[in-house]
Amino acid sequence: MPELPPPHDEAHRRPPGMDDATVEAMGKVSEAWEATERARGHLYSFHQLTGGADRMLHEGIAMLRAAGHHDAADFLETDIAGRNVIPGHWTFQIIEAYDDTYYQPFARAEARLRKELADGKRHLYEAELKQRVRTHGHPDHSWGPG
């Protein structure tokens, strides 16, 4: 297979002296960071779904009360509505703890490694992969827009 040219834009061209093993390792770190971003998004989904469920529950409680089922409404209002999702925590507190304990330290570490090992460049592995697998010269396989 012929040697392919590096990506066409400077933002995705590996720095001089950066070896294949480092590009691959940084690609794996990037993949881990992307998974962390997705996990954080799922926490926000959990937060919003749980909050929405609690608001719906309050509506159901009001409807039960209006229908004359005061004991059922009182039971749900006392035992379930506004309840912690894990001991001592509502969902916003879980997100804040995740951000402080894992997400932000990982964000700083990923940025530090990119700066130290790749001159701050992102997605070098993916950019080189695109060069390898695209059909050069095909209009729908161009490096970038234009």
**Interval 28-80: pLDDT, tens:** 999 999 999 999 999 999 999 999 999 999 999 999 999 999 999 999 999 99
User: Coil, helix or strand for 123?
Assistant: coil
**Non-local CB neighbours of 42 within 8 Å, separated by 6+ positions:** none
pLDDT bracket for residue 144 (50, 70, 90): confident
Q: What is the pLDDT of residues 74-128, one digit of tens each?
A: 999 999 999 999 999 999 999 999 999 999 999 999 999 999 999 999 999 999 8
Q: What's the burial of 12, exposed, middle or buried (CB within 10 Å: 0-12/13-18/19+)?
A: buried
Please return the burial class of 125, using the count of CB atoms within 10 Å of its CB with bins 0-12, 13-18 and 19+: buried
Q: Which residues pair with 89 in a beta bridge?
A: 86
In whole angstroms, what is the distance from residue 127 CA to residue 54 CA?
Answer: 45
Query: Two tokens at 24?
Result: 């691959």
Residues found in the chain:
146
